Amino acid sequence: MKLLSGRQSWMVICVLCVGLLAACTSRPRGPVPVEDRVAGQSSARPVQNSQPQVASAPVATSTPISMGPSSTGSENAGKPGYYSVRPGDTLTKIALDHGHAWRDIAKWNGLDNPNVIEVDQVLRVTPPAAVVAANRQTGPLTAQSPVPVNTASPSAATTPNPQTANANDDGMIFSWPHSGPVLAGFDETKNKGLDFAGKLGDPVLAAADGKVVYSGSGLRGYGNLVILKHNNTYLTAYAHNQTLLVKEDQAVTRGQRIAEMGSSDADRVKLHFEIRKQGKPVDPAKFLPARP
């Protein structure tokens, strides 16, 4: 083995020191660079040593589902103020039979689609306590004094001034809805009102002040129908019309023309007229004045 001279040994030591220094300075400081390759190019970016960001959970904003056919309310079956739907029922029929507007019954029961009810579904048919209190504050829908009769019509011969009865025990004042002769009187099982004879297009008049709670043809056996609500006790119904002249929620006065007589869902031209007291049909002849 050949011994190195002193000068050679010193040179080897210097080379080794330079190598060690190069190795120490080649290690990167800070985050290790990561290549981003976009469109064939590369760039270095440091990996950040930060806490991950957590997305906040979404806040539920959905509206609770209202009671419909999927929630029949069976726990209220048989209780006062509730009604179990029967085959063939419609919300209009149920409302008429209980003396209320169909919109009110839909509201009290949270019905999203009033056209969809099912057999054995239990519906509230009396107003909640809050509604009763509000009704007491607002009072009846009718005026307490007689209202001038609206006699305007295409045919004065078929629209004489309707006779007006005195106020009954409930403060209601009714007048005749048509001047024609009575075809059929009241029968609790066969005919729930009075039928009037007349000509196609004859005016049909509101029997008292009130608000239109139904105007349509959705109740079988009644044809084109108008239902007026006069107060918290009385409704009147006018059926088999040719044309309906009023819309739902419209206020009307006694003697106002609300429809034209027709034969819709009937075997002849006639007006079927009902008075309902708390939903129960009563004999209109007992509420109307005597004819001259």
* CA neighbor of 111 nearest in space, from 74, 65, 80, 76: 65
Neighbours of 99 (CB within 10 A): 18
The answer to whether the beta carbons of residues 45 and 34 sit under 8 Å apart is yes
Tokens of 102: 């169909």
Does the domain formed by 74-138 have CATH 3.10.350.10? Answer: yes
What span, in angstroms and rounded, lies between the C-alpha atoms of 263 and 259? 12
* pLDDT tens readout for residues 162-175: 555 555 657 789 99
What span, in angstroms and rounded, lies between the C-alpha atoms of 125 and 117? 14
pLDDT tens for the chain, 292 residues long, are 555 555 666 565 655 555 555 554 444 444 434 333 334 444 444 434 333 333 333 333 233 333 334 456 788 988 999 999 999 999 999 999 999 999 999 999 999 898 899 999 999 999 987 555 555 544 455 433 333 333 333 333 334 455 555 556 577 899 999 999 999 999 988 999 999 999 999 999 999 999 999 999 989 999 999 999 999 999 999 999 999 999 999 999 999 999 999 999 999 999 999 999 999 999 999 999 998 6
Half-sphere exposure of 155 (CA within 13 A, CB side): 13
Residue tagged 């806490």 (tokens): 51
What span, in angstroms and rounded, lies between the C-alpha atoms of 242 and 258? 11
> What pLDDT was estimated at residue 80?
92
Which residue ranges does the chain devote to CATH 3.10.350.10? 74-138
Non-local (6+) Cβ contacts of 192 within 8 A are: 186, 274, 281
What span, in angstroms and rounded, lies between the C-alpha atoms of 223 and 235? 18
CA dihedral 96, 103, 100, 215 (to 10 degrees): -50
The CATH topology of domain 156-286 is Glucose Permease (Domain IIA) (2.70.70)
pTM of this structure: 0.65
Residue tagged 């079927």 (tokens): 272
Element (H, E) at 89: none
> What pLDDT was estimated at residue 175?
96
**Phi/psi of residue 273, nearest 5 degrees:** -125, 130
